[in-house]
Amino acid sequence: MKPRTRRGGGRPTIADVARLAGVGAITVSRALREPERVSEALRQQIQQAVDELGYVPDPNARALASARAEVFGVLVPSLTNNVFAEVVRGIYDSLSDGPFRVQLANTHYSGLEEERLLQLFLSQRPAALIVSGIDQTDTARRLLETADCPVVQIMEIGPDPIDMMVGLSHLEGGRSATNHLIETGCRRIGFLGARMDPRSQRRLAGYTAAMKAAGLYDPRLVTTTPVPSSVTLGRDLFRDALAKMPLLDGVFCNNDDLALGVLFECHRAAIAVPQTISICGFNDLDMMQVAYPSVTSIRTYRYEIGRQAVSMAMAAIGGSRPENRVVDLGFELRRRESTDRQN
Amino acid sequence: MKPRTRRGGGRPTIADVARLAGVGAITVSRALREPERVSEALRQQIQQAVDELGYVPDPNARALASARAEVFGVLVPSLTNNVFAEVVRGIYDSLSDGPFRVQLANTHYSGLEEERLLQLFLSQRPAALIVSGIDQTDTARRLLETADCPVVQIMEIGPDPIDMMVGLSHLEGGRSATNHLIETGCRRIGFLGARMDPRSQRRLAGYTAAMKAAGLYDPRLVTTTPVPSSVTLGRDLFRDALAKMPLLDGVFCNNDDLALGVLFECHRAAIAVPQTISICGFNDLDMMQVAYPSVTSIRTYRYEIGRQAVSMAMAAIGGSRPENRVVDLGFELRRRESTDRQN
DNA sequence: GACCGAATTGGTAGCGCTACCATCAGGATG
DNA sequence: CATCCTGATGGTAGCGCTACCAATTCGGTC
């Protein structure tokens, strides 16, 4: 049995290229990875051989030999949540030119799942890790701290980065939204929250802080559920909230899906927006500006978070960790018709 | 310099486990991959050693040695499109228990990009490939035909599968939606289409067929753009369509984002829905049933497509290719208020 | 003109794992 | 009791690539 056909599909290897180009295998390897260290003449010769054979390097062999895979491990809690979808898109777009692949996994908002996946990722010796949030379990944190690759925590910022961070303060976002509602004259402002993951919790904390500061806080104004967010759920939570507090004059929603559900329910129940009830969302999805009435929301920069995370990780891989290990991309209140009451 | 610390982070290897358990390395390998081929006693002994050392197999070494990576390659044209996000979620959910990883990439609706990514994926010798649509370029098709792994084309079904297929007929979906509008009394039914990828094209073809069959077809009723879909774009396309054909009495939208944009614009312009204009979308996102008025749409089974694709690929990996290589998951017209006119 | 450093190229020895074959016991078969 | 199987275990030789260390060349230096 010929050794060459023993395994594999007979795809060309680096040795085939080397033979055809009349050079050593290691020179081919260098020509592909560090072209500047190979003379112009050989480089062309090798490139020609590569093209002729249709050679594509085997990433597995490469990873094994170099003890380092050209992979970015990315952990997000949800794949369908629009917010994370955009972050992920930012990451993919930033990485698609270079040699790096993306290894994406879904933690389903579970710390244990995150630990398991981290273990799995680490076994690949990734070039960098991007994880969501700042509330890793102790075990996960230890794994990340001892991982010998850059780590970027995304979505949120906080005081104690494992390595690097990029995101925004959800507490301040929640506070801003609530203050805006207060300033436009709302007094009985409900909070609607779904899923109640750590970021939702902090938005709620921002709401609570603002309400207390204004002397308007009442726990009965808060309606939350661990159920995943959806437009349907927004409607249902709003109905619950109204049942508890019929005199609500404003609603701050955890996210835009809920806000949209509230808006539709207001239409259905003939509740005037913003005159009777003002609505403020969070994230500022595209649809909010088109909605009727258009919906005030807190703009967040999801796509940019993805890009920034990659760019920071790349810098660290290149040996120059950015001096600012924590990047606050901020947010912006977008005022629209749903809170435009002339009080 | 000790050979052991020369590279790698000193993570335990299969040899370490073998030594601790007092067995051969190959037996450890077998105990992990085919437990039934190892005696009960050794299996426990090995498991104990694995736990004690915290051993995690190196997938790269595994892939190199076995000429087969435990990876599903998945190609989708968009990561933010809700529809693909759900398919991807279905795929991840189906695969998260087993040993397989997912390698996801974004073709950005480009055939060339798809070819490039396919080449990249193939270099990893994946266990299976899942690709979107049935309109691969000739080169891509050849690559897939000669790939020695199962291939599943998803989203659409057609006459000539590369290997396996799971999806629905977008032409029939478009026809159904249009016929429904006709049956409820609409005569001047506009078609609004964004992106106009192959699936959108076929929905348009279904629309065209239905309109012609009813003697209602007029090319001026069709408004399309290559621009990616969004709610905002739905509003804009609708305005264009109305400018061309002020007497429109129904709209079939390429997808639900557009339909939502139309709905909002109708509110803003005080156009009665469904009395003056009926609206039908495509995909039946959650929000359609909550919208006011609720919006008729063609329900598609995205999550199920993802699950089914994995299940078919798994069967093929296991050696038993399903007898039905093409699975039609169909669609369902969900009638709602936006087309509920008593004509 | 011997010597030195930088630039370029190549050989060797693995990376951690598994395919392939060999080995060995223990039972069934004649 | 020799033979043949069957099932469990191990040894050897790579998988395709790169880290590490030569080896070689070539100009420049003293």
Taking the C-alpha atoms of residue A109 and residue A112, their distance in angstroms, rounded to an integer, is 9
Tens digit of pLDDT at every position of chain B (343 positions): 233 344 556 789 999 999 999 999 999 999 999 998 889 989 999 999 999 999 999 999 999 999 999 999 999 999 999 999 999 999 999 999 899 999 999 999 999 999 999 999 999 999 999 999 999 999 999 999 999 899 999 999 999 999 999 999 999 999 999 999 999 999 999 999 999 999 999 999 999 999 999 999 999 999 999 999 999 999 999 999 999 999 999 999 999 999 999 999 999 999 999 999 999 999 999 999 999 999 999 999 999 999 999 999 999 998 888 889 999 999 999 999 999 987 6
Of the pLDDT bands very low, low, confident and very high (cuts 50, 70, 90), residue A4 is very low
Check A267 against B292: CB less than 8 A apart.
yes
User: How far does A26 lie from chain B, in Å, by closest CA?
Assistant: 18
Note the pLDDT tens digit of each residue in A220-260: 999 999 999 999 999 999 999 999 999 999 999 999 999 99
Token digits of residue A205: 């904390």
Cβ-contact A253, A280 below 8 angstroms: yes
What is chain A's mean pLDDT, rounded? 94
Q: What is the 3-state secondary structure (H, E, C) of A180-191?
A: HHHHCCCCCEEE
Collect all residues of chain B within an 8 Å Cβ-Cβ radius of residue A69.
60
What is chain B's alpha carbon radius of gyration, rounded to the nearest angstrom? 26
User: How far does A335 lie from chain B, in Å, by closest CA?
Assistant: 17
User: How far does A97 lie from chain B, in Å, by closest CA?
Assistant: 11
Q: Which site among A5, A64, A237 would you substitute to test the B interface, given the most B Cβ atoms closer than 10 Å to its Cβ?
A: A64
The CA distances from residue A190 to A25, A171, A244, A261, A269, in Å, are 68, 16, 10, 14, 17
Q: Determine whether the distance from the CB of B61 to the nearest atom of strand C is below 7 Å.
A: yes
Query: Which A-chain residues 119-148 have CB contacts (< 8 A) with chain B?
Result: 119-120, 122-125, 148
A105 lies within 8 A of chain B by CB? yes
**Type of residue at B128:** A
Of the pLDDT bands very low, low, confident and very high (cuts 50, 70, 90), residue A319 is confident
Q: Determine whether the distance from the CB of A6 to the nearest atom of strand C is below 7 Å.
A: yes
Q: How many CB atoms lie within 10 A of CB B188?
A: 16
Check A123 against B286: CB less than 8 A apart.
no
Token digits of residue B207: 């629309």
A102 lies within 8 A of chain B by CB? yes
Query: Which A-chain residues 257-286 have CB contacts (< 8 A) with chain B?
Result: 257, 260-261, 264-265, 267-268, 286
CA of B28 to C1' of D10 (A): 11
- CA of B46: nearest nucleotide by C1' is D9
**B59: nearest CB among A57, A67, A124:** A124
pLDDT of residue A212 exceeding 70: yes
The DSSP secondary-structure symbol of A251 reads E
Is the Cα dihedral A176, A181, A187, A191 positive or negative?
negative
CB pairs under 8 A between A and B: 136
Number of H helices and E strands in chain B, helices first, is 14, 12
Cβ-contact A338, A274 below 8 angstroms: yes
pLDDT of B237 reads 98
Taking the C-alpha atoms of residue B64 and residue B266, their distance in angstroms, rounded to an integer, is 59
Instruction: Give B77: exposed, middle or buried? Use CB within 10 Å, 0-12, 13-18, 19+.
Output: buried
- CA of B8: nearest nucleotide by C1' is C15
- CA of A30: nearest nucleotide by C1' is D18
pLDDT of A343 reads 61
User: How far does A140 lie from chain B, in Å, by closest CA?
Assistant: 15
Determine the distance from the C-alpha atom of residue B44 to the mean position of all C-alpha atoms in its chain, rounded to a whole number: 41
Torsions phi, psi of B161, nearest 5?
-65, 145
Note the pLDDT tens digit of each residue in B18-35: 999 999 999 999 999 999
Q: Which residue is nearest to nucleotide C10 (CA to C1')?
A: A24
pLDDT of residue A9 exceeding 70: no
Note the pLDDT tens digit of each residue in A165-198: 999 999 999 999 999 999 999 999 999 999 999 9
